[in-house]
Amino acid sequence: MRLLQEENTDGARLKMLECRREKTLEEIHFREKQLERLDYLRYEIRSRRAAAGKNKGEK
């Protein structure tokens, strides 16, 4: 990469790294939200199954 070979490119390198870091954090947050949604769906399904099991036992 040319920026690594040239002198006085610290500013440009830092900018590139900061941009990449920001994009990575955005991806991490997106994946965290996906996991939260998946966990919620799992919770809902388990809750319904538990409620259905209780209802069957009452009848």
Over the stretch 5-38, which tens digit does the pLDDT of each residue have? Answer: 667 789 999 999 999 999 999 999 999 999 999 9
Count of structural domains, the chain: 1
Give the domain range for residue 45: 2-58
Q: What is the pLDDT of residue 44?
A: 98
* DSSP state string for 19-58: HHHHHHHHHHHHHHHHHHHHHHHHHHHHHHHHHHHHHHHH
On whether the pTM is more than 0.75, the answer is: no
More confident residue, 47 or 9: 47
- Terminal Cα-to-Cα distance of the chain (whole angstroms): 72
DSSP 6: S
